[in-house]
A and B are shown apart, each in its own frame.
Chain A
């Protein structure tokens, strides 16, 4: 699924750059700051993990990183996200939501997967090709095309939600808790698919997944970046993990050199 989009002068080695992003909930109540002065960079070809306790601001940060929320503190391939550029930059980042039900809103799986390509103005043949390709990539055969999304199992729904994004052929995948509701086999199949997308931003509590998919990691807590570093090094720090409601992943704890 290599992208065929034209590169522009604005393309840089940075896929996403966020500088001093702040987000407050509309209520304006004390403690309503979801993100405070957050900065991070995602390089092209890099897997970046977002970890942190519940309510750390991971989902909101992902929405900004994908251009779903607008702020010119965010640049996607060098283009600041504004009302004017939002539609264009959103095509380059595929956002997979935490709840597949939020992503699947059309009557059938095929309609849902075709939604993005149709919005790109592609010809029907090309749309069909992309639908087949995306469903195939997530392991859903042709029998799923006429199925109603809300009648799929949790794993199938998650796969269909991923297919809706893959059909857009994004340059970057932004995933919010992608392994929720998945059994071990479906989880492994998902990881296998995600390995084909070198540039990815993954927010998850599944730290084993982060270890496997992301070379670098950002620890968020209470809407602020606590630290950034190589994933294995950051997740292996027991004091740091405990201070922010996390645990050192089992695979690190059981590794021979861990003692």
Chain B
């Protein structure tokens, strides 16, 4: 759950059009066919995203890069796999592994670059959305688009519980460090194992207390009831729909 910067224009924007814009952008990204011609279309999409995000300054935030890095790390791994396994076009031999030559093909390079670019664009759009939108606003926006209520309840509870468990773990870890982290690696592993068990038990207890608090306020099971959402304002909605339309247009545009 993030705290969106209220002074940025994306931070002030209603979460619903933002969510629509991000999903529309991902759809446009997915619709661009692989292979020849995809490069210019992906570059056009990248330009569009840059224009939308650059004035906001989300790329200057450390949180943005911290969230983006794991996705890019995963994409790099997959990219390497594609790079060394895809065959086609000219092949440059790099080294020999036993009796087998390992090299990079022209097709492998193109496929890895395309995969990297697609991942960077898709992850950037989603991370920008998550950095500039609070967790609750995002959950409410998903509810507005009729996602199943029980799924959203679970999503909200999981996000909140994760924060609480992380906070609890941080405090337990601080207490561990203050009293010595453990003399040997084995001792440290035993202590951390005990901490994880303790964390689990605490979480069970807490879940029971929260359930009791819900019952005390009239909860009888089933989906949580919610207040009706605020009316949608037309200008942000139209701007975001325009962004989605332009993103989709790159698929059928006469780009080389």
Contacts and interface: CB of A to CB of B under 8 A. Distances in A.
A33 interface: no
Contacts of B212: 63, 68-69, 102
Contact of B217 (A119, A124, A146): A119
B62 interface: no
Given A124-B228, A148-B134, A150-B160, A102 B218 contact: no
A105 B157 contact: yes
Contacts of A90: 215-218
Interface in B116-154: 134-137, 139-140
Interface stretch (A34-42, A110-118, A213-221, A241-249): A110-118
Contact of B136 (A66, A97, A108, A124): A108
A124 B225 CA distance: 11
Contact of A119 (B3, B213, B220): B220
A108 B159 CA distance: 13
B216 A118 contact: no
A66 B216 contact: yes
B226 interface: yes
B206 interface: yes
B30 to A, nearest CB: 29
Interface in A23-69: 63, 66-69
Where chain B touches its partner, the secondary structure class is: helix
Contacts of B167: 150
B156 interface: yes
B80 interface: no
Contacts of A114: 227
B224 interface: yes
Interface in B1-43: 1, 3
A99 B209 contact: yes
A93 to B, nearest CB: 8
A105 B227 contact: no
B166 to A, nearest CB: 11
13 contacts: A68-B212, A86-B215, A90-B215, A94-B216, A101-B206, A102-B212, A106-B224, A116-B217, A120-B218, A128-B227, A148-B136, A150-B160, A150-B164
Given A87-B220, A146-B134, 15 more contacts: A90-B216, A90-B217, A91-B218, A95-B216, A102-B213, A103-B213, A105-B160, A105-B210, A107-B136, A107-B139, A107-B159, A111-B227, A115-B214, A115-B219, A118-B226
Interface of A: 63, 66-69, 86-87, 90-91, 93-95, 97, 99, 101-103, 105-108, 110-111, 114-116, 118-120, 124, 127-128, 146, 148, 150-151, 164-165, 168
The 8 closest A-B pairs by CB, nearest first: A107-B136, A119-B218, A116-B217, A118-B225, A102-B209, A95-B216, A103-B213, A108-B136
